[in-house]
Structure 1
């Protein structure tokens, strides 16, 4: 190894490039056989830092005598696994890795193995894997589930985990932790490197990736210039409300796109991207063919075309979602526009990094507020980005559904000995404290389904053979398991195809089953920038044709509402606090002065040292508006908790509304909030008991259990071409939930469902921290005569639950008009 050529030096010198210090550190560390985590800004040269480290240590160039022969030398065996969180990154990564190989005459091959890989390519890889295989966590687990997995991966020397921060905090990351534990078991000298651009807790990220210790952390260039600015609305509404998508800003967005050779327009939801793409085309019909749409529900072919065209400089702009957040290198992109608040610092920085994606270039993101209060989020985001206050991500703790799936996969991958595999699994950070009792339960569950499923053959998935090696004895169950590997669980999707009498119409992508279920043949909807009409639904496929209707629905996909992060929320409160002291720094805060003046006149402003609360008596009843700035999820738990605790003191029921800034409690009978809002009501004591009592925790746990049941292999989603409907899957998982509750109450998957509700749906830890924080604040309670600019969006949230969008818009217009007149009159 010590005499291998310095490929990095050769290739960089040939291009007149000078390597950065962080790249040299990674090259030296890998040469010493060390694992580690590289943290560097987007576009700083991370890929070549780890790629040339691998080439310098493991590659040999073709001898001159070989190059003169006609036959191309065969590629080296599998040496590097490159893990990517998104299939969209795989092809782009492959191009980057292949670029130096020919120039340096290195006989390495690069291959892809993702859900999009063709059957013929998979068959070729089954015979011989490429030298470097770019794959996803799911496809890696499928490789490990091959009977010859250990032999096929015997030559592996290094694993690179790209965009590690995207995997760290979820079950896909846990699946990868287990896969790495298996690879390390086979090769204790395996070198593992994580690559990340935006992460707030690097020490934890490194510890999870390299749980055995001894890793090295390399900090890349941090002087990448990130410019964050804001498009100011022509009119600042003093009583803003979320939900009108900011299309009033369309002329300014068109002007920004016009002024730049290449732009990305990020939206937070797929529905929003469809609406904005259509609006841009209507505003500029001459841009047809020059702008495109990209989101994860579009077909793979469409997304590939958009990525290639953007890379080649053929597109002026692409309207996109998080489907283009990561890694793909679009050099022609000079501008990024973010429609609405990004809700998180890391997400905003990640998206900014899509522009100026090269060392030394400025990355610029322009925020486009969809309502007035997002101006303060824009100003706060600039502060948080400048101070690099990035959200931390933490690995899930001991998810047993992922473990159960892993046991069956390993039983397929050559089989396992329980004692040996127990130690291996505990080598994964998420399972470092897996108890023998947990392990015995998991083994029993895959062997016969636990206490309540013993009589059913489908749940006897793994059995020990005569040598004590646990294997999958049934070929049908083996096939079923391979089709179900993975931890990404979403509502069932309906495929969209153009209607053709002979069948076989062009595939457009997918929408969630629940959306199509609400349509009848003849109804129109927007998809992929086209106005479509539903023709018929058959075998989980919706057949459509082009429509000329004026009115169209927009598909609503789940997962669209992202909560405000703690880091951004803290920066928002700091901006309010400065305004309370008369400091309005920056154009955003200057533009907001009229709104903030009304808020301060009618009530008060939130500050770093006070908890703003407002009490209002209206025709609807008695309202409390409270502003903890802890994000939508926490406010839901907090509102339910406060409502339940107050109802224990007096007979009263509440309606609840929440947003990222605060919560509203509405009662039909009077509540003395000056007396009720005391430290006892806001105490974190008995939090767990009270939260579970205040919510329909059983229904929430059932919802979580549906996902757990799919991952654990209890529920099969169906064969390709014949998937089960969402209703069938939900009914099956609901049945298991009830059976376990009645006959197997100690089933650890039930306990996991309850834990996930508290941790993920209610964010119980952040709720506890919020209660502790607001108890340190001074209560600033105001008796108000009308809704304030901060309270008005909460009223709208509650109305939205019970009114159609047309009626809602009409009612809001009337209310805003009345509030504006009152504000203008200066009445207190």
Structure 2
């Protein structure tokens, strides 16, 4: 160990006392913090990121504030993106604090914190506070926020990659800008394990032009990441979404049986419910030893599952993204990913839930549910090895978050317009915010814009004689504090037994479709719906054997650009006869059949297939750009093809391509010549091809809630989805008719284009499509790549039995053609 006065000496001594040796990247972080630098730490999950930053900060605090003075006031705020992480994080931070500064305190402040604990904190804040972006923003609404928070010297944002690309990340940026106003020397660090744009992520996090310059620290330790695939026996020549899913039941059960504690990840909650039932069906003796975890379950249930994982008493847990982030489950040995993770970063993040300690290997086994996902598995492993990880791009100056922030700061002691404009513009996301845009948001908070001036409840802030804006109305203050945050989800309804015991929450739209006596799976149980009363759905344990599976709002995850590019690289190898990966060998029958009936797409070719059936003329195009982009592309091309000769198209999409079907024949020459892929007048044509008004109105509903125009209600008196829809629709129409310049309307249209249709990615995809050689193939029968798109369309209008009969006939015809 070096000199006791050297930076990091306290940290080094504490680690040595535990028998640990600091990694070089941890020492690098300690040095940067000792120099007063902000920064970004990027290191593998389970490698020691928390202690790299925390011990550096604690070391610096001990030098600046001698321990003999008793408990220090609030000095460090540690932000986590999830409440579930807060408790584990606090325990990790408390260990060195007890040894190095036992009089200093640590506290939790989230939506789950009991009121008695909040009251204790209000009397005296702990030295270190672990909290969430929403709870920090609520602290900023307190009248004496400046006095309470001006002593904060350090802020850490854990799992920064989870926040940076969302409005929650924008909320965190604005809170940091506020804290820097209170304490100009604030040091800020972000932690991440999976990010492709590290320099930009650090720039977003740190203050503009900081002195000294921020430091990017990358942890390089020998951490083995094993990515393999549970390859199904005989995947066959043809496959479609979910085709192999049930066939993987026994292989998954056998893997769990051979392993220690296992996490089984799915991408959506309904899939988690299905797989929990599949495991129990195969091994009923595992009841009580396997569990289910997703965000709709009751908090007590989730905590029981998390405790079972920590103690190693559960054999397996089927989970969604609710367990993606850094809760430390040391006993977890294996991670199984059902279906494709759809992104390299998400796969690596989930892999890191196993072997969560330095020196232990992390292993994720991918469980494909169709043949294309077998290829995706090989592509994901290749992308991870070559460092092709997705970037996270922050939103561009969302005005709904700004409107909310203006009211927050007005509550938290008030503000002057010039000073707050400079403060907001110092946040990276608002670096291009014009004074006119800021003044519009200010006037909207003050007067309700051009159309709401007659309604006092929308006069939320008032300037006094000195030009200081504050909130005067206690009702406005209460509604604002209840609505703080940017997480917007459809109204949920409690699910309870007739005894009153809570099970969890579900979207109101699903419950509304149920009739008394209907059965459904939820929380791993088969339940019978009885009635709805007082915003609760009452159920009993069902005696029937069959039920449906809850469906939650939200679209399927789309394949990322990085992973789709990697899939095309694998397809290129296969097209050249190189089946070097075990996954490619397993997919060989499908790929060779595709090559025989059509062609295999590659990074340099654009495959277009034509086909005629009794339904009409089919066109299949495979840009490999993800389902969101394909939705926009399909609508755009259908509109352009019908512009000169009116026609009606049906559209089907997946992550690899899309299908256009028309009962009337159409000319494919604009496609084969690539004229229809033009980028000219793209924005106009995209908006004309879609019901853009309906999309914008749906997006506006979320914006209106963040901006505080509509309230979700009060505790015990929540508003229904129908009430929220009606309220937002009314505002939408009023603004369109009487306040056409309302910038929240403009934001809704911009978010539809940038987030739902990914217009920039759509434009880039069109450019890439034009640059490729187009291979047009006239099919005699559907190809292995076109069949999944047919199935997607059939599912919309056929029952399961009808779909099965239709597929049997198509497959017989295809098999005959393929073997001819």
**Interval of TM-score (by shorter of Structure 1 and Structure 2):** over 0.9
Of 531, 534, 539, which aligns to 2:534? 539
User: Does the Cα contact within 8 Å between 2:701 and 2:728 map onto a contact in 1?
Assistant: yes
User: Structure 2: how far apart are the matches of 1:520 and 1:718?
Assistant: 26
Match of 2:665 in 1: 670
Partner of 1:132: 128
Question: Which aligned pairs between 1:187-336 and structure 2 lie closer than 5 A?
Answer: 187-213=183-209, 214-221=213-220, 223-244=222-243, 246-336=245-335
Question: C-alpha separation between the residues in 1 aligned to 2:681 and 2:5?
Answer: 61
Among 567, 574, 577, the residue aligned to 1:579: 574
Among 28, 39, 43, the residue aligned to 1:40? 43
Q: CA deviation at 1:548?
A: 1.6
Equivalent residue number for residue 162 of structure 2? 166
Aligned equivalents of 2:809 and 2:79: distance in 1?
A: 54
Which residue of the partner structure matches residue 683 of structure 1?
678
Q: 2:560 maps to which residue?
A: 565
- Give the secondary structure class of the aligned counterpart of 2:47: coil
**What displacement does 1:60 show?**
6.8
Of 740, 746, 749, the residue aligned with 2:744 is 749
What corresponds to 1:548 in structure 2?
Answer: 543
- SS of alignment partner, residue 59 of structure 1: helix
Question: Cα offset for 1:300?
Answer: 1.3
Provide, for residues 677-697 of structure 1, a one-character-per-residue CA deviation record: whole Å limited to 9, x for no partner.
323211112111111111111
Measured in 1, the distance between the counterparts of 2:176 and 2:125 equals 18
Paired position in structure 2 for 1:394 = 393
Distance 1:408 1:675 in 2: 53
- Residue 614 of structure 2 corresponds to residue 614 of structure 1: no
C-alpha displacement of 1:433: 1.2
> Do 1:145 and 1:413's aligned partners in 2 also have CA atoms closer than 8 Å?
yes
Contact 2:46 2:355 in 1 (8 A): yes
Give 3-state SS (helix, strand or coil) of 1:133's partner.
strand
Cα separation, 1, equivalents of 2:288 and 2:152: 45
Quote the Cα distance in structure 1 between the aligned partners of 2:436 and 2:670. 49
Query: What's the secondary structure of 2:280's corresponding residue?
Result: helix
Alpha-carbon contact 1:231-1:367 (below 8 Å) kept:
yes
RMSD: 1.7
Q: Cα distance, 1:597 vs. partner? A: 1.3
2:780 to 777, 785, 789: 785
Shift of 1:361: 1.2
Question: Is the 2:403–2:441 Cα contact (8 Å) retained in structure 1?
Answer: yes
Deviation at 1:74, TM superposition (A): 5.2
**Cα displacement string for residues 254-313 of structure 1 (whole angstroms, at most 9, x for unaligned residues):** 111111111100001100111111111121111111111111111111111111110111
Deviations along 1:44-88, one digit per CA (max 9) or x if unpaired, are 100000110111010379999x8xxxxxx9532111000000111
Instruction: Quote the Cα distance in structure 2 between the aligned partners of 1:601 and 1:245.
Output: 23
Q: Distance in 2 between matches of 1:63 and 1:766?
A: 54
Secondary structure (helix, strand or coil) at the match of 2:415 reads: coil
CA pair 741-598 structure 1, distance change in 2 beyond 3 A? same
**CA 1:786–1:126 in 2, change beyond 3 Å: closer, same or farther?**
same
Distance 1:702 1:112 in 2: 38
- The alpha-carbon deviation at position 810 of structure 1 amounts to 4.0
Give yes or no for contact 2:312–2:331 (8 Å, CA) kept in 1: yes
Match of 1:728 in 2: 723
**Which residue of structure 2 aligns with residue 70 of structure 1?**
none
**Structure 2 SS opposite 1:508:** strand
1:640-681 deviation per Cα after TM superposition (whole angstroms, max 9, x unaligned) = 111111111323221111100000000111123245432321
- Are 1:401 and 1:711, in contact at CA under 8 Å, matched by a contact in 2? yes
Aligned to 1:457: 456
Name the residue aligned to 1:21: 24
In 1, Cα distance between equivalents of 2:544 and 2:244: 22
Shift of 1:566: 0.3
Secondary structure, aligned partner of 1:649: coil
| Residues 1:819 and 1:679: Cα distance change in structure 2 (over 3 Å) | closer
CA shift, 1:807, in A, is 3.3
Distance 1:670 1:605, change over 3 A: same
Counterpart of 2:354 in structure 1 is 355
Deviation at 1:222, TM superposition (A): 5.4
Write the mapping of 1:46-61 to structure 2, written as runs, cut at 5 A.
46-59=49-62
Q: Aligned to 2:52, what secondary structure does the other structure show?
A: helix
Aligned mates of 2:155, 2:776 — CA distance in 1: 56
2:8 and 2:369 map into 1 onto residues whose CA distance is: 55
- Give the counterpart of 1:801 among 771, 775, 796: 796
Decide whether the 8 Å contact of 1:4 with 1:60 is kept in 2: no
How many residue pairs get matched? 814
Map of 1:659 onto structure 2: 654
Residues 676 and 35 of structure 1: CA distance in aligned 2, closer, same or farther (over 3 Å)? closer
> Partners of 1:169 and 1:54 in 2: how far apart?
27
State the TM-score, normalized to the length of structure 2: 0.97
Per-residue deviation at 1:5? 7.9
Does 1:184 find its partner at 2:180? yes
| Residue matched to 1:427 | 426
Q: 1:804 to 1:125 in 2, by over 3 A?
A: farther
- Report Cα offsets for 1:162-221 as digits up to 9, x if no partner: 000100001000001000000001101011000010000011101100141321111112
TM-score computed with the length of structure 1 as normaliser: 0.96
Q: Which ranges of structure 2 fall in alignment gaps of 5 or more residues? A: none
Residue in structure 2 matching 1:113, options 86, 109, 114: 109
In the TM superposition, what is the alpha-carbon distance from 1:127 to its structure 2 partner?
1.2
Aligned to 2:497: 498
C-alpha separation between the residues in 1 aligned to 2:815 and 2:359? Answer: 48
Superimposed CA distance per residue, residues 428-470 of structure 1 (whole angstroms, 9 cap, x where no aligned partner): 1111111111011111100111000000111011001232211
